Chains A and B, each alone.
Chain A
Amino acid sequence: MKRRILSLVLAGVMLTSLLVGCGSNKEESKDGDVTKVTWFTSRPVDGAIDQTMRQIADEYSKEKGGKWEIEIETTADRPSYLQKLKTLIAGGNMPDIIDIDADPYCQELVDAGMLVDVKQFLEENDRYDKFYPIALKYQEFTDGSMYTLPLEYHVEMTWYNKEIFEKYNLSAPKTMDEWLEVCKVLKENGVTPISVDGIDRWPVQRYLAMMPFREAGNDYIIELRDGKESMGSETGMKAVNFLKDMGQYFNDGFAATDYATAQNMFLEGKSAMYYIGDWEIAAMQDLYDQGKIDYFYLPTAEGAKTGANEFCVNSGIGMAFNAETFDEKTKDFALYIIDNYAKLFAEKQQMSPIKTELPEDVEFSDLYLRIREDMEGTGEHFLKPWDTYLDADTNTIMQDNMLLLASGDMSADEFVKLVDDSIAANKK
Chain B
Amino acid sequence: MKAEDAKGMDINMGIIQNKKAYAVFLLPALIFYIFAVFYPIEESIRLSFMKWNGIGAPKFVGLENYAAMFKDKVFYTALINNLVYLVIVVVIQLSVGLLFAILLTYMKKRVTLVKTLYYIPCIVTTVAIAQLFRSIYSTEPLGLLNQFLAGVGLEHAATSWLANVKTVLAAVSVPEGWRFIGMYMVIFYAALVSLDPSVYEAAKIDGASELQILFKIKIPLIKEILLLTLTMCLTGALRGFDIPFLLTAGGPGNASEMMSTYMYKKAFSSNQYGYGSALAVFIIIESIIVVYLLRKAFTTREDREIKQMEKVQRKQRRSGK
Closest to B53 in A: A108
Asked if A289 is an interface residue, CB under 8 A from chain B, the answer is: no
Question: B116 near A: Cβ within 8 Å?
Answer: no
When the two chains form the complex, which single residue of A79, A253, A393, A404 contacts B162, counting CB atoms closer than 8 Å? A253
Docked complex: B131-187 residues within 8 A CB-CB of A: 134, 137-140, 159-165
- The answer to whether A10 touches B163, judged by C-beta atoms less than 8 angstroms apart, is no
Residue of B nearest to A90 (CB): B54
A: contact size bracket? 35 or more
A396 at the interface (CB under 8 A from B): yes
Tell yes or no: A20 within 8 A of B by CB: no
Which residues of chain A (104-118) have a CB below 8 Å from chain B?
105, 108-109, 112, 114
Count chain A CB atoms within 10 A of each CB in B138, B140, B248, B269 and give the residue with the most. B140
Q: Is B273 a contact of A90 with CB atoms below 8 Å? A: yes
Question: Is B271 part of the contact surface with A, judged by Cβ < 8 Å?
Answer: yes
Stretch at the interface among A131-139, A255-263, A352-360: A255-263
Contact status of A13 and B32, CB under 8 A, knowing A89-B54, A253-B139, A253-B140: yes
Which residues in B have their C-beta under 8 angstroms from that of A14? 28, 31-32, 35
Task: Please give, as numbers and ranges, the residues of chain B lying within 8 Å of A83 by CB-CB distance.
Answer: 268-269
Whether A90 contacts B55 by the Cβ 8 Å rule is yes
| B207 beta carbon closer than 8 Å to chain A | no
Q: At the interface, yes or no: B320 with Cβ under 8 Å from chain A?
A: no
Select the stretch in B226-234, B249-257, B295-303 that faces chain A.
Answer: B249-257
Q: A251-B140, A396-B269 are in contact. Are A404 and B165 (CB under 8 A)?
A: yes
Q: Are A11 and B162 in contact (CB under 8 A)?
A: no
Residues of B within 8 A of A86 (CB): 54, 268, 271
Q: Of B55, B253, B268, which one neighbours A112 at CB under 8 angstroms?
A: B55
B24, B52, B139: which has the most chain A beta carbons within 10 Å?
Answer: B139
Q: Complex Cα distance A350/B313, Å?
A: 85
Contact between A393 and B271, CB atoms less than 8 A apart: yes
- Whether B270 is near chain A, meaning CB under 8 Å from some CB there, is yes
Cα A3 to Cα B54 in complex, Å, equals 41
B254 to chain A, nearest CB (A): 6
Please report the C-alpha to C-alpha distance between residue A252 and residue B250 in the assembled complex, in whole angstroms.
19
**B46-81 Cβ-contact flags toward A at 8 Å (1 or 0):** 000000111110000000000000000000000000
* A401 at the B interface (CB under 8 A): yes
Task: Write out the residue numbers on chain A whose beta carbons fall within 8 Å of the beta carbon of B31.
Answer: 14
Q: Do A409 and B268 touch (CB < 8 A)?
A: no
Task: Report the minimum CB–CB distance from B267 to chain A (whole Å).
Answer: 9
B272 touches A (CB below 8 Å): yes
**Is B29 an interface residue, CB under 8 A from the partner?**
yes
Known A253-B162, A409-B165; contact A393-B138, beta-carbon cutoff 8 A: no
Nearest A-chain residue to B164, judged by Cβ: A253
Which B residues are in CB contact (< 8 Å) with A108?
53, 55
Tell whether A346 is near chain B: CB-to-CB under 8 Å.
no
Count of B residues near A, CB < 8 Å? 42
State A301–B304 Cα separation when bound (angstroms).
77
Instruction: List A contacts of B162 (CB < 8 A).
Output: 253, 255-256
Interfacial residues of chain A within 81-119, with CB under 8 A of chain B in the complex: 82-83, 86-87, 89-90, 105, 108-109, 112, 114
Task: Answer yes or no: A254 CB below 8 A from chain B CBs.
Answer: yes
Cα-based distance from A392 to B270 in the complex (angstroms):
5
From A7, A105, A253, contact of B25 by CB (8 A):
A7
Instruction: Report how far A105 CA is from B252 CA in the complex, Å.
Output: 25
| B3 smallest CB distance to A (angstroms) | 21
Chain B residues near A256 (CB, 8 Å)? 134, 137-138, 160-163, 247-248, 252
- Determine if A400 and B253 form an interchain contact, defined as CB atoms under 8 angstroms apart: yes
Residues from chain B with a CB closer than 8 A to the CB of A252 are 139-140, 160, 163
The interface residues of chain A lying within 8 Å CB-to-CB of B248 are 255-256
Interface residue from B29, B53, B161, B265 paired with A396 (Cβ < 8 Å)? B265
Q: Which parts of B174-217 form the interface with A (CB within 8 Å)? A: none
User: Are B271 and A253 in contact (CB-based, < 8 A)?
Assistant: no
* Prevailing SS type, chain A contact patch: helix
Distance in angstroms from B14 CB to nearest chain A CB is 14
**A393 to B255 alpha-carbon distance, docked (Å):** 18
Cβ A409 vs Cβ B140 within 8 A: no
A410 at the interface (CB under 8 A from B): yes
What residues on B are CB-neighbors of A114 within 8 Å?
55
Question: Chain A nearest CB: distance from B302 CB in Å?
Answer: 40
Q: Which residues of chain B have C-beta atoms less than 8 A from A407's C-beta?
A: 163, 165, 252
Expressed in whole angstroms, the Cα–Cα distance for A307 and B67 within the complex equals 48
Min CB distance B158 to A, Å, is 10
In the complex, the chain B residue whose C-beta lies closest to that of A405 is B253
B249 / chain A contacts, CB cutoff of 8 Å: 199
A219 to B138, CA, bound (A): 39
For B164, list chain A residues within 8 Å (CB): 253
Distance, CA A384 to CA B24, complexed state (A): 61
8 Å CB interface, B1-45 against A? 24-25, 27-29, 31-32, 35
A406 to chain B, nearest CB (A): 9
Assembly CA distance A83 to B137 (angstroms): 28
Bound-state CA distance A353–B54 (Å) is 31
When the two chains form their complex, are residues A109 and B270 in contact, meaning their CB atoms are under 8 A apart? no
Smallest Cβ-Cβ distance to A393: which chain B residue: B270
Flag if B272 contacts A393 (CB, 8 Å). Answer: yes
- Nearest-Cβ distance from residue B147 to partner chain A, whole angstroms: 15
A381 CB within 8 Å of chain B: no
Q: Is the CB of A404 within 8 A of B253?
A: yes
Q: Given the complex of chains A and B, what is the CA–CA distance between A410 and B161 in angstroms?
A: 18
- What mask results when residues 53 to 87 of chain A are scored 1 for a CB within 8 Å of chain B, else 0? 00000000000000000000000000100110011
Chain B: which residue is nearest A3 at the CB level?
A: B25
| Contacting residue for A7 out of B24, B138, B139, CB 8 A | B24
A7 touching B28, Cβ below 8 Å: yes
B35 near A109 with CB under 8 A, answer no
Give the B-binding residues of A (Cβ under 8 A): 3, 7, 10-11, 13-14, 79, 82-83, 86-87, 89-90, 105, 108-109, 112, 114, 198-199, 251-257, 261, 265, 270, 392-393, 396, 400-401, 403-404, 407, 409-410
- A-B contacts, 20 of them at CB < 8 A, read A11-B28, A83-B269, A86-B54, A90-B273, A252-B163, A255-B251, A256-B134, A256-B138, A256-B252, A257-B163, A261-B140, A392-B270, A396-B265, A400-B254, A401-B253, A401-B254, A403-B251, A404-B253, A409-B165, A409-B253
Extra inter-chain contacts (5) besides given A7-B24, A13-B32, A87-B268, CB under 8 Å: A7-B25, A86-B54, A90-B52, A253-B160, A404-B253
